[in-house]
Chains A and B, each alone.
Chain A
C-alpha cells in the first residue's frame, strides 16, 4: 500500500469532505489500487510498468473531485463534523467531561426526588421515554466503541444521527408541552380571572421541572454525541494515517 501513498495524498488534499467520508473514499481507492497493481503483475508486467498504469488510471481530475464532493456532502454530516472539530485539546475535553458529570449529578438529584415527578406536567412522560432511548443508544454506542472496540467502517457512524434526532425531539416536546400548558392556563384564567396569580404559579410549578428535565436531557445528549463523535473521528483519522502512512 505504501507505494500508492503519494497518489492517495494528492486525492486526500483535494477532497474537501468530512474526514469519515474522505477516509472511506481513500480506503476504497487504496484497496482498488493494490488489487489492480497485483492484477498487472500477474499479467507479467514489471512493478514499474504496473505502477505507471496505476498512476495514469487513478489520476483524479478536478472535475471528478468536485463531483465526489457534491455526491458526499450531506447537510447533517457537514454540520456535525464542523461542531465536533471545535474542541480537540485535552483541557477542552476534560472540561467537557467535568461539565457532563456535573449536569448528570444535578439532574439525577432532581429526577430521583418524588416531588419532581409529582408536580411535573404530563408532557414529561414522552421526554422521559426519549431520555431512556437516548440512554440505551448511548450505552450501546459507548460499549461498541470503547469496550467491544468494534471499529468497522460500515457501522461506526450508526446511531449518531439518531442520537441527535432524539435529543432534538426531547427539546421540541419540552417546548411544545410548555406552551400547551400555558395555553391551557390562559383558558382557565379567562374563565376565572380572580385566580390568575394562583393559576400562573401552578403553571410555573408544572412546567419548570418539565423544562429543567428537557434541557438537561438535551444538553447531556449533545455532550454524549460530541464525545462519541470525537472518538469516531479519532478512529477514522488513525485509519487514514495508517493508510497514508502519516
Chain B
C-alpha cells in the first residue's frame, strides 16, 4: 500500500493537516490557529509563528484555505482564514493517508516494542 503523501514530506503534511483541522469548522486568525493547536495538544504540537505564516500563505496560494481581510474598528484590519472546498478534499485525503501510515507504522514498530 502506497501512502497518499510522500514520506519525505511528513512534516509538511503534518503541519498542513493540523492547520486545516483547526479551520475546518470556523474562520480563525493566524495566532488562533497556532494557539488552538498548542492548547488542544496540551503543548505536544507547538507552532512558532515565524514558521506558521509561510505555511499559511503557501496553503492560501494553493487554495486549500482562503484568507480574508476584515475591518475591525477605524484603523484595524484583521485577516481570517477559512477552509476551501479544495482544502476539505485535501484534508480528507491527507487524513486517510496518515491513518494508513500509522497502521503500517504500528504494524512494524508497534509489534516489536510490545
Name A's B-contacting residues (CB within 8 A): 24-25, 27-29, 31-33, 35-36, 39, 57-61, 64, 67-68, 71-72, 152-154, 242
B48 at interface (Cβ–Cβ under 8 A)? yes
With A67-B58, A71-B58, A154-B68 as known contacts, state yes or no: A32 contacts B30, CB within 8 Å.
Answer: yes
Residue contacts A-B, CB under 8 angstroms, 13 given:
A27-B79, A28-B53, A28-B79, A29-B53, A31-B77, A35-B32, A57-B49, A59-B48, A60-B53, A61-B50, A64-B54, A67-B54, A68-B57
**CB-CB nearest in chain A for B34:** A57
In the assembled complex, the CB of B34 is this many whole angstroms from the nearest CB of chain A, namely 8
Q: Are A64 and B76 in contact (CB under 8 A)?
A: no
9 additional A-B pairs beyond A31-B79, A58-B49, beta carbons within 8 Å, are A25-B57, A27-B79, A28-B30, A29-B30, A36-B49, A64-B53, A71-B61, A154-B68, A154-B69
- Are B53 and A31 neighbours in the complex by a CB distance under 8 Å? no
Distance in angstroms between the alpha carbons of A189 and B75 in the assembled complex: 68
Distance (Å) between the CB of A132 and the closest chain B CB? 31
A61 to B49 alpha-carbon distance, docked (Å): 10
Contacts of B27 in A (CB 8 A): none
- In this assembly, does B78 line the interface, its C-beta being within 8 Å of a C-beta of chain A? yes
- The residues of B that contact A67 with a CB separation of less than 8 Å are 54, 58
- From the candidates A59, A68, A152, name the one contacting B53 in the complex (CB within 8 A): A68
* Known A-B contacts A31-B76, A64-B54; A39 and B35 likewise in contact (beta carbons under 8 Å): yes
Give the size category of B's interface with A.
Answer: 20 to 34
In the complex, the answer to whether A72 meets B75 with C-beta atoms within 8 Å is: no
In the complex, A25 Cα to B54 Cα: how many Å?
10
How close is A179's CB to chain B, nearest CB, in angstroms?
A: 39
Q: Are A32 and B68 in contact (CB under 8 A)?
A: no
A154 to B79 Cα, complex, angstroms: 10
Question: Closest approach, in angstroms, between the C-beta of A51 and any C-beta of chain B?
Answer: 14
Q: In the bound complex, how far is the Cα of B57 from the Cα of A64, in angstroms?
A: 11
Q: Say yes or no: B31 contacts A35, CB within 8 Å.
A: yes
- A71 and B57 in contact, given A28-B79, A39-B35 (Cβ under 8 angstroms): yes
CB atoms of A59 and B57 under 8 A apart: no
Q: Taking the nearest CB of chain B, how far is it from the CB of A224, in angstroms?
A: 26
B54-106 with Cβ < 8 A to chain A:
54, 57-58, 61, 68-69, 71, 75-79
Interface residue? B8 (CB, 8 A)? no
B11 close to A (CB within 8 Å) = no
Q: Does B41 contact A (CB under 8 A)?
A: no
Residue of A29, A32, A33 with highest tally of chain B CB at under 10 A: A32
